[in-house]
Amino acid sequence: MFPVFFLRSDSLRLKKADGYTGTNNMGYFLTKGDSMDSAKTELGLFDTLKQRLNPTAVMKKLNLTQEKLIDMALYLGIGFLVGFLIKKYDKFIFVAVLLIVGLILAQQAGLVSITVYWYKIQEFLGARPLEPIEGSFFSAYWEWAKANVILVASFSVGFLVGLRVG
């Protein structure tokens, strides 16, 4: 009446359970009254993990395409690079940010006049003018981040690993 369970191996003999013995190499289990032909297949831990972690199955389950995976790898790499460079050159970046903030404050006080001709820069780079953003820049970025959670997560993981390594 009790089933006989065993791990999968190439030529494993079933132990006697109420008089049944048999050679098994597929991970079957038998109960009294079952024959080797009617035995049910039980997958081992390794086979179960292999099926669940199959790249094609994971991509289909998460609704990912090859282009999305390339984007994720790209954001992961950029995040790593940014994190690594920030950790490596943090003093230089701190001084540069202080300089920029100082220039902005000097412009606000009327000591310096800074004019950026964006159309000249766009013309030089061959870029087309951007459409104006409705609302604030932060709200536009937040909408993009909500629509691309996987990319933001990839960048964040890369950034944190880059900070750790740098």
Beta bridge partners of 29: 40
Residues 139, 159 within the same domain: yes
Residues 82, 16 within the same domain: no
Q: What is the pLDDT of residue 144?
A: 87
- Convert the pLDDT of each residue in 54-97 to its tens digit: 878 777 887 778 888 889 999 999 999 999 999 999 999 999 99
Residues 106, 38 within the same domain: no
Q: For 12, left (φ over 0), alpha (ψ -120 to 50), or beta?
A: beta
CA-based Rg of the chain, rounded to a whole angstrom?
Answer: 31
Residues 70, 122 within the same domain: yes
> Which token pair is 148?
């691309």
Asked if the structure places residue 94 within a domain, the reply is yes
- Convert the pLDDT of each residue in 124-151 to its tens digit: 888 887 777 777 888 888 888 999 898 9
**Residue 123: partners with Cβ closer than 8 Å, 6 or more residues away:** none
Residues 150, 87 within the same domain: yes
Number of domain units in the chain: 2
- What average pLDDT score do residues 111-123 get? 87
Residues 19, 38 within the same domain: yes
> Which token pair is 100?
């920029």
**Structural domain boundaries, residue 32:** 12-53
Residues 153, 88 within the same domain: yes
pTM over 0.75: no
